[in-house]
Chains A and B, each alone.
Chain A
């Protein structure tokens, strides 16, 4: 493709992506359609835990005849503490950092948090969509995400066909994702003990034993997704979507930084071991969404049911009401409710008197919980056609006990602490 000297970088990227995806020669320099750019910056902050700042640049362009390119760049940075999976104890606890270099202590009565998390992630993706033949569109895309200890690359393709005056659309999509995980300090051997430097006479002795608790090299996993979709226009005010999704993950599915406490009959921790999850997971999703246009507002309601072979069933209700204050401004309340059951191998702790199970994790994200999001957004269209918006949301996770009896002193500890977070976002589109 011949490019003019002053062609914008975004157009050059689009042309490169088109070529990469095998799309027809898209003549960016001849198009009359402007780029549509969406930008946003988001802050997510949990009380006493993780905080994330994330920026997004999303660019799309119709090169004519519905030949559409979409590119997205995401940058995020994470700092703070994350629950390690160990239980609170009456006294001070010591933990070894994931790298094996150094340790940290947690006061009695406090949920152990690993405060060493600090990471920056960059994600780039490109998607090309075009008509294939009458009433049929094809779309393909690539995505790449990299952070210090994690690499993810993927490709997807889908086909959609319109029926009945474009009132009904059937779609089929496939996605393949490859993830490579290179944990700080190496991936722990499942159920190996977290060693403490204080139990060794020398650094060399500790380092040698620590190395024995680690697996060689990086770990990886693959995920294949199949997505079947049906979109139906109901009447001149209502549209619906129904999706079925199948997701099969295979490979390293552990969280290398999560541990479990082995406690005795008095509820006191005797040792700490690294978790072990199955290396396969098959998920099924059903997703239903409806949008309804009233004279000065739009209702958006969705429901998702998910089930998997880790025995995690979940229900999600998500709703937004966009209420127009004027021709150029709106407010939008948001409510989301999420409920999940515990994975079959989830346990908040292990009993030291029992033999080790095949799989176990005390990651609260695999336990029973409910979560609620409440938010409000304000948006305004400016006189030049650009649009800006701001939203503020509150998110609370409430983990539950799914039937575990806490021995001894653990009855006095909060084994299922709630997580509270605020979400703030500024967005600008032009």
Chain B
């Protein structure tokens, strides 16, 4: 049933979602990929990147606690990870 929804979004509002998303998506992808030839590092240049604090998932416990708060108090969730279901929070 859910896969059917995903494949056939049929609500009126969903028709304009791709248009709303297209500009920021294109800009961010271009930003991300621009100058691809010169970005990146050699394995021996990872001294700073290898620090725990540079991990994109550092402070996972703290971020998890925060996301539970914001999931409960705001209408939007997810982004960094799955939006999911999870609790009947008040």
Please measure, in the bound complex, the distance between the C-alpha atom of A236 and the C-alpha atom of B65, giving whole angstroms: 30
Residues of B contacting A286 in the complex (Cβ-Cβ under 8 angstroms): 21, 24-25, 28, 79
Do residues A165 and B43 form an inter-chain contact, with CB atoms below 8 A? yes
Do residues A298 and B54 form an inter-chain contact, with CB atoms below 8 A? yes
Contact code string A170-202 (vs B, CB < 8 Å = 1, else 0)? 000101011101000000000000000000000
Of the candidates B25, B46, B78, which one forms a contact with A236 in the assembled complex, judged by CB atoms under 8 Å apart? B46
Mind listing 19 A-B residue pairs with CB under 8 Å?
A: A40-B62, A78-B90, A82-B90, A164-B40, A165-B43, A166-B43, A167-B41, A224-B2, A225-B82, A232-B39, A234-B39, A234-B40, A236-B48, A241-B56, A243-B80, A309-B13, A309-B14, A310-B75, A365-B74
Residues of A contacting B61 in the complex (Cβ-Cβ under 8 angstroms): 38-40, 56, 58, 427
Do residues A42 and B65 form an inter-chain contact, with CB atoms below 8 A? yes
Of the candidates B51, B56, B64, B69, which one forms a contact with A44 in the assembled complex, judged by CB atoms under 8 Å apart? B69
Is A374 engaged at the interface, CB distance under 8 Å to the other chain? no
Contact code string A55-80 (vs B, CB < 8 Å = 1, else 0)? 01010000000000000101010100
Nearest residue (CB) in B for A258 is: B90
Do residues A343 and B86 form an inter-chain contact, with CB atoms below 8 A? no
Residues of B contacting A167 in the complex (Cβ-Cβ under 8 angstroms): 39-41
Nearest residue (CB) in A for B79 is: A287
Contact residue range for chain A? 35 or more
Q: Given the known A-B contacts A54-B65, A165-B43, A224-B2, are A154 and B84 also in contact in the complex, defined by CB atoms under 8 Å?
A: yes
Q: Which of A12-20, A89-97, A245-253, A400-408 contacts B (4 or more CB under 8 A)?
A: A245-253
Do residues A427 and B62 form an inter-chain contact, with CB atoms below 8 A? yes
Please measure, in the bound complex, the distance between the C-alpha atom of A128 and the C-alpha atom of B53, giving whole angstroms: 23
Residues of A contacting B28 in the complex (Cβ-Cβ under 8 angstroms): 242, 286, 288
Interface residues of A in 298-331 (CB under 8 A from B): 298, 302, 304-307, 309-314, 316, 322
Q: Given the known A-B contacts A245-B78, A245-B79, A311-B13, are A322 and B73 also in contact in the complex, defined by CB atoms under 8 Å?
A: no
- Beyond A223-B85, A233-B40, A304-B80, 19 additional contacts (C-beta under 8 Å) are A76-B68, A82-B90, A154-B84, A154-B85, A173-B82, A177-B85, A224-B3, A227-B82, A235-B40, A236-B47, A239-B54, A240-B32, A245-B79, A287-B79, A307-B21, A310-B75, A313-B20, A397-B74, A423-B69
